[in-house]
Amino acid sequence: MDREHFVKPPDDSLSHCDPSLNRVGSSGQRLTEGVRVSFGPSWKEEDCFRRTGRFNFTRHFAAMIPLQFPFTEEKIRALKVGDEVAVSGVIYTGRDAVHKYLHEGGALPPEVKLRDGILYHCGPVMMKQPDGSYICTAAGPTTSIREEPYQRQVIRDHGVRAVIGKGGMGDMTLKACLDYGCVYLHAVGGAAQVLADCIKKVRNVYMLEQFGSPEAIWELEVENFPAVVTIDSHGNSLHREVFAASQAELQKSLGATAH
């Protein structure tokens, strides 16, 4: 799938855009007609739509912070809430079964290197090839809050530097990011096929027979995987800020209704 996908804005009111809705199906047809959601503060209309109606991924990646392997604590501590990053290197998937297994003291296969690594909350769709290798056709994030009971321990015990997911995480993970030098990276929901295009190689799979395909640990080589820092290693959480602002607006609305 080419990095530049054709889109048409549905009207002239779009001032921001997001590739999350700009998906191309397996047969190549366009699934959506435009993009509506803001991906971050640096998105501008001229970056998203040229006169031809093309969205240029390469142009926007140039404005993002490259986060490249090795993922050192120094690199992670330099990131702040709101930073847009383009991740390149080796990452590992891990969902409910893996987190529960590690929480209960399970041992990782020796080939899985989570220390100074990135853990992706994802159950990718894989197609096995005749030679035994795999191609990833969908790799969207799963809801991260399910891992909240386990995430602090996994970050602490395994030296994880970043967690990719969607929806945010709670206070225990926030504290772990502060204490151990980790960040939470919010990936674009609803963009599984676009994100799969960032996966250049499926290097290996672990615990496939034990957990099944969605819950297995997939070792992925990614290039320019887009995400936004929403929990940093300095005690800041965009999710907490949004929740507080939403609560304040709700109280204002309820107060206005009461009068």
Per-residue exposure over 158-175, b if at least 16 CB sit within 10 Å of its own CB, e if not: bbbbbbbbbebbbeebbe
Q: Cα separation of 125 and 70, whole Å?
A: 26
Instruction: Establish whether 234 is a catalytic residue.
Output: no
Here the tokens at position 75 are: 């690199």
Catalytic-labelled residue, pool 5, 16, 60, 99? 99
Q: Give counts: helices (H), strands (E), the chain.
A: 9, 9
DSSP structure string for 190-223? T-HHHHHTTEEEEEEEESHHHH-TTTSEEEEEEE
Q: What are the CA-CA distances from residue 30 to residues 33, 36, 69, 232 (Å)?
A: 7, 16, 33, 35
Q: What residues have CB less than 8 Å from 17, skipping those under 6 apart?
A: 9, 34, 35, 36, 37, 38, 39, 43, 45, 47, 48, 49, 55
* Active site members: 99
